[in-house]
Amino acid sequence: MTATQPGPQPPFERQRALIYGAARGIGRAVALEFARRGAALAIADVDAAGADETAQAIRAAGGEAIGIACDVRLDDSVRAAADEATRRLGDVDIVMNNVGVILSGHPEDIPVAEWQRILDLNLMSAVRSLAVFLPRMLARGRGYIVNTASFAGLYPYATNRIPYAAAKAAVVTMTESLALHLLPKGIHVSCLCPGPVATRVSEGIKSWSADAVMRGPGSQFRLLTPEQVATTLADGMRDGRVMIPTHEEVFEVMREHAEAPDRFLRAKLAAFERGEKGLPVIARPEGR
């Protein structure tokens, strides 16, 4: 079996994982799932109290975990979190870049500074993490990197949050390209792509246009819990998958888009004109 076809991965037992953005939502659920499978966890989040609470929940269940305050907008903070996790747990085997922030507004109403903020949190946070961990993992010849993207980065629909969609599309492309570069070197890479997930990511959302419509990836996608997403991710990592969507049926939509992008876009426009929002039965935006 070649390095670019890694096959099933070893279990999470005795692995040490650092998750940036795990105080709540998908990140918290993933931390709990990794711990249930035997990993020791470092929870890094700007919400220090939330990070500590997640770590405490893992310890209460018999696992090993620490909480770390971290602002992923700052190079030094990202590196300090990595260093603290290494000092307290040992060399980090798995790093997950899970920070995600959305917004709402028409692109003509969104200031450049807000574009910068969204790109900084959703894309550059992962870049800062990679700058720390790639040299370390390459030196050891092993490791696992997980980046969280979104269905919004796979095909067009998220018209009220274009900076977010652009950032997540960059995460998808970056992660797939990293896989090409890193798999032959013994480092595994996965891209978690959430569709509709019942999280609190929309709380406190900054809105720049009163009439911007929240649109989802398609009403055919059922709303999942963060716990379901965590199981899907861990199973996908175990099986050596690079692209791990929360809903397998998304690949059919991606095929439709790839086969005829103009036709796909015009069909979307027609659906918008009919008032279709593409949200699940319980109307929530995608989890990340």
Q: Which residues are identified as catalytic?
A: 164
Whole-angstrom distance, CA of residue 279 vs CA of residue 7? 35
Burial (CB < 10 A; 0-12, 13-18, 19+), residue 1, is: exposed
Q: How many CB atoms lie within 10 A of CB 212?
A: 18
Q: CA 89, CA 95: separation in Å to the nearest integer?
A: 13
Token pair, residue 3, equals: 């390095």
Cα separation, 23 vs 46, in Å, equals 8
